[in-house]
Amino acid sequence: MSLQPFISLYRYAVEPIAPFTWFGTKVCSLDLVAVFRLCIALRQLREILHAKHCQRTAGENRLALVEERSFTRDACTMLTIVFGGEAIIGPLLGIMPSFMFSGVSPGLYIAAQAIVDTELPLSIVDGFTRAMLLCSLIPPVIVTHTSPVIASSPWALLLSSLVITNGGFFITNMFSFMEPTPFTLTTPDELKPYGWTATDIWSAPLITGLYALLTHAQPFWAELHSIISIAVGGGKVSPMDPESARALCALILAVFFSTRAAKNFGLIWKKSVSEKIKTQ
């Protein structure tokens, strides 16, 4: 199977586009798709949580606890999800979070939050956007770290992938950011059995590890790749080029997320979330 079509798609998707280039800002098509995909996903989650809350409290005075949502709360929720993990791991690695250098990215997310009013089945896009994070953004930060211990540590690589990808969602779920009620401290979905975020949790270190294995990002992964090759009767293995490895990881993630979306929401998103829940 040739990965060249997906490699070409990635090259096109990560090229800076106008009008952002007019102002010296490198925003690509994939960035825009990822921003709007997240906004839509969060809107879907809020509607599901609201519908479930109304079901639980039907006919009871607890409905009065429903708090009118504000744009500020929704925007803060999204920014926490996007930058929360980075804010946690950054001080531990001695790295300044990206949102401290420029307001373009936070501003883009806030603007997208304000204009999102459609529902689109974009689970396949999740695979490509998540692969960009897990393969192109996180590994270089670790393998080029000034500390040789961190740069060569597979544990630091996998832990960073896990925390950066899921840290923001963990915080928002723990403090009930997306619930229609006032803030409360609760058990995050990530710590519940078979929560909807289970795929996000295990897929992050899995895909980063796979990418590192294929590209020999650290000495550990090169040795592991050789051991696996010998164990299956193969010979000496060479690293795969980063673009091909990223394309393969994107395909795997697209399958993961499409399967999850079909299981949780059906193949087509239904606008009446409460009606969907009653039929489950």
Show me where the domains of the chain are located. 4-278
CB-based contact 260:199 (threshold 8 Å): yes
Single out the residue of 110, 86, 108 nearest to residue 97, CA to CA.
Answer: 86
Q: How many helices (H) and strands (E) does the chain have?
A: 12, 0
pLDDT tens by residue, 18-37: 888 887 788 899 989 999 88
Residue whose pair of structure tokens reads 């690695």 in the numeric block: 93
Give long-range contacts, CB 8 A cutoff, 24+ apart: 142-148.
142/93, 143/217, 143/218, 145/93, 146/94
**If you average pLDDT over residues 72-101, what whole number do you get?**
91
Residue whose pair of structure tokens reads 């809107």 in the numeric block: 43
Question: Does pTM top 0.85 for this prediction?
Answer: no
Instruction: Give the Cα separation of 6 and 128 in Å (integer).
Output: 10
Share of the chain above pLDDT 70, in %: 87
The whole-chain average pLDDT of the chain stands at 85
Give 3-state DSSP helix, strand, coil % of the chain, rounded to 5. 70, 0, 30
pLDDT tens by residue, 133-177: 999 999 999 999 999 999 999 999 999 999 999 999 999 999 999
pLDDT of 49 above 80: yes
Higher local confidence (pLDDT), 194 or 28: 28
Q: Which of 42-46, 81-85, 140-144, 261-265 has the lowest mean pLDDT?
A: 261-265
CB-based contact 129:38 (threshold 8 Å): no
pLDDT of 194 above 50: yes
Instruction: Give the Cα separation of 40 and 53 in Å (integer).
Output: 20
